[in-house]
Structure 1
Amino acid sequence: MGTIGLIAAMPDEIRPFLRLASPAARLHGGRFPIWRLRVGNDDIVLVESGMGIDRATAATDALVAAASPVAILSFGFGGAALPGLKVGDLAVGMTSWFAGTEGIVLRRGIDRNLAEKLAEELNRICNGVTRGEIITSARILKKGDLAHSLPNGISSPILDMETAAVAEAAHRRGIPIVALRAISDDAEEELSFSLDEFTDDDMAIRPRKVLATIARKPWIIPQLLRLARNSRIAGKRLAQGVLATAEFLSRG
């Protein structure tokens, strides 16, 4: 069929998949880490974008330049915005939204027909998957506040910081895209810190800033430990879903 492109933000989202899939070759050079591997008879190129919409857009451009993919999967962790989804649940994005100054706005990109077929496939292989709607934001949103501003009829909303940007960039190039998220925090989990406290201006996590924040806010330690445990649970389930999705996309 051609090369399948994968894009995810963080190492914790990527490592479980690389352990599960065939051996991957790390490509050197460029702004973003890139791996090349095979699933079945098809080439897979995986890009680690880092967090945030700007990096997601630039990493999608890098993926297209490096591999000219015939389809793209955006994957990673996500937060449940409403009660129902639990840690480790898998969700296929049926639509992509962006939460910004104009409210929550529907964005282009997600191939809904392809997403429906993917959801059917993952339901068969991965013992259940939710059809969700992904809401991308440039910052961490308070779930309690967000619940009151959701568009009418939105089903199983999932928060992330990249999907809308990847979907828009792929759409501009006419590349079909699907999105897969594993829930790493449920609707009751409100973060007690902001990303600004952990990251630099390029949305990269800086250990010194993390330690300084913990020193100022030691009460966040139990939450960080819980989130680390949840990420391991979500990462294992996500890896299975990503591998199954790559195989599904390779069949055309």
Structure 2
Amino acid sequence: MMRALLHVLVPFLLCVAVANTDLFRDVQVDVTYEHYAEKPLDYMPAFLAMPFNCVVNLGYIFLGLYWLLRPGDVEGTDSRYMREVFALMALFYGPVQWARLATLRRAPAVLDQWVTLPIFAWVPAWIDFIEYGEQRPQRAAALELFSVSSYFLALLHERGFDLALVCHVTAAVYKGLRAQLSRGDRSTGRYLLLATLACAGFVALKLLDHWLARFWLFQRLTGHFWSKVCDVLQFHFSFCFLTTLTRRKTAAQQE
């Protein structure tokens, strides 16, 4: 676990440091409560100003801890490393989003966007490990470096981050479908479908946050809140899909 923690923590801290400089001062990010449909409560402390959108970030923390501490029945050192890195990414992501809401500062808002990209990039890296039967650290490192660097598209165009995110999501879904067709079965297919639907829900509910707030059902638990629920579920079902395929590969190698 220490190796996984080191490999996640060091790049994360570097991103935190860079996000707190003026490098991304021209990136389009929202730093007001008007961006969210949930109404802030003036009598609450800053870290609970929008209670539901704040507390939902605990889902990432609980999910990360669950998959980080979950023992693998058939798991090698490399496969455990892949799981632990992904779990630590989820664990760190929750506080980043919470800090964005609590502070309304540019740096956490930039970081919220930025760290999303290497999280999606870890899915193709993990699938590479499944397909080729061994960890390929150089390729995984190159994928993550390329992913982190792709955020600089946000400096070139106001929709640069959106373009980078679409490419990451497309690559993750494509690699998942390819792995399912070559190695999956009905259960992994169900996990992949649920992860993909959760991803679609995450995007759609976030974009429709204010529009959905016209309906009473989404005036307290808003579209943005439910988009985060979908994001946590996307994480979870991705874990289910990837760990199931990894466990079968490891078991086949041991026979």
Q: Higher helix proportion, which one?
A: 2
TM-score, with length taken from structure 2:
0.27
TM-score, with length taken from structure 1:
0.28
Higher RCO (CA-CA < 8 Å; seq separation 6+): 1
Q: Which structure has the greater CA radius of gyration?
A: 2
Q: Higher strand proportion, which one?
A: 1
